[in-house]
Amino acid sequence: MEKNYYVCTGCGMLCDDIEVETEKNIVNKVHTACRVGVAHMKEGRESAIFQVDAKPVDEATAISETAAILKNAKSPLIFGLGTSSNEAQKLAIELAKKTNATIDDPSSFRLGSVVEALLQNRFKTCTLDDVRNKADVNIFWGTNPSDSHPRHLSKHSYFPRGKEKQRGWEEERTAIAIDVRKSHTAKICGNYFFEIPPGGDAEFIDALIAALSGKLPKTSYNFPPKRILELANILKGAKFGVVFVGLGLVYSLENLEPLFRLMDILNEKANFHLIPMVGYSNTRGFNENLFEETGYVNSVKFEDGAAKHGPEYSIVESLKAKTADTALIIGSDPFSSLPRSIAKNLLEIPVISLNPCETLTSRNAKVYINTAISGVESGGTATRMDGVKVDFKPVVETNRLSDEAVLKKIMEAL
């Protein structure tokens, strides 16, 4: 019997080999997925919720109230979209243009700078399939995929047998972790775990560049030079190396210049690629869709169809400066994810929340529309952390509207 596979939208890996068993339109069992994916695929519900001022209303009332709020806004902010389909994201960008809104996503305080550099061809990159089939040296820098992306090592980067790597882990692959603590991933890497102090990444990069150049590596925190030289020798011998960049590295660096220099010298000595460890299922999609429209991956302000970009247009700076007078939050929970000193400013403006789950943001929203879960209850396309486009279909039926459907109705009501 032919098996029916689904795509898991639980994280940026978008695993496409998931099998599910359903009964009476409910997911009973999920096969192949990790613990994150199993929980995600079982989240589907049938009942839609529409609320205005925390009171139940019908769909038409919720949509008309949303349109009225956006019409009256002089400086609306649209934020989130990391779990929305590419189709919904493009509609949100159109909505931002139509309402002269600021549009941003969590990548403005996460991995957006790395994705933007990739789209500008500042880094050499590859796909996760290339990693599985070819990679012999993988560096996990400031990231812990064993917990954040539980199938990463088993499906792509360490344990699997690929076309050119038939013998699997240890014999043909070297996994290296560089981090401030001994994470679960670092434990798997064994002797190839390099523990550095918080904020020590730039110095470690400089020392590693020195070692790759045949010089004696030094750090102010006295990391053993012998170990850095050993690491440099491993990297020089890589036939197909990959650096997986996590938040730990990005938060430690003031800018990406040290990483540019490291990747340049790695590619002088060997063959290295870079992939950002994107968390949400379609953050990479939002970055690419906005980049295609404006040349920027986040923090964009539209005025009469023209796009302006700058840190002042990120959600953090917009809320700090109180420049937004309305917020449309899609698939995100800034009340929980942002510092309280910043998030509290959302209480002063009308908030519209589109989210499959009840959150702190939805509880404080003027309008709450309980939407379908992309990949579980609605279909579309998304972009994997490595830039590969993936089609996905719903697993169960629901009367909850997708983000795309809600945005279409809002656009029609404006």
Whether the CB-CB separation of 319 and 347 falls below 8 Å is answered with no
Read off the DSSP letter of residue 259.
H
C-alpha span between 272 and 245 (Å, rounded): 13
C-alpha span between 218 and 342 (Å, rounded): 39
* Cβ-Cβ contacts under 8 Å for 111 (sequence gap 6 or more): 245, 247, 250, 276, 277, 278, 283
C-alpha span between 120 and 139 (Å, rounded): 22
Ramachandran angles phi, psi of 235, nearest 5°: -65, -40
Residue among 102, 112, 95 nearest 300 (CA): 102
pLDDT score at 168: 61
C-alpha span between 71 and 252 (Å, rounded): 41
- How far are the Cα atoms of 54, 338, 363 from residue 65, in angstroms, in the given order? 13, 26, 17
Q: What is the pLDDT of residues 193-238, one digit of tens each?
A: 999 999 999 999 999 999 999 999 999 999 999 999 999 999 999 9
pLDDT score at 170: 65
Which pLDDT band holds residue 169 (cuts at 50, 70, 90)?
A: low
Task: Determine what percent of the chain is predicted with pLDDT higher than 70.
Answer: 98
pLDDT score at 1: 42
Indicate if the pLDDT at residue 357 is higher than 80. yes
pLDDT score at 3: 61
Strand spans (E) along 55-185: 55-56, 76-80, 102-104, 137-141, 174-179
The tokens for 358 are 């009840």
Any alpha helices (H) in 156-282, and if so which ranges? 184-189, 201-212, 225-236, 247-252, 257-269
Helix 59-72 and helix 403-413: axis angle, to 10°? Answer: 60
| Helix or strand (DSSP H, E) at 131 | helix 128-134
Strand pairing of 367-370 and 50-52? antiparallel
Side-chain-side CA neighbours of 143 within 13 Å: the count stands at 25
pTM of the model: 0.96
- CA angle, residues 52, 55, 58, in degrees to nearest 5: 65
Mean pLDDT of the region 323-327: 98
Residue among 345, 235, 300 nearest 96 (CA): 300
Any alpha helices (H) in 45-127, and if so which ranges? 59-72, 86-98, 112-119
The tokens for 335 are 């009340």
Which pLDDT band holds residue 94 (cuts at 50, 70, 90)?
A: very high
Task: Determine what percent of the chain is predicted with pLDDT higher than 90.
Answer: 92
Q: What is the pLDDT of residues 245-283, one digit of tens each?
A: 999 999 999 999 999 999 999 999 999 999 999 999 999
- CA angle, residues 203, 204, 205, in degrees to nearest 5: 90
Indicate if the pLDDT at residue 151 is higher than 80. yes
Mean pLDDT of the region 113-124: 98
Residue among 247, 258, 46 nearest 142 (CA): 247
The tokens for 336 are 């929980």
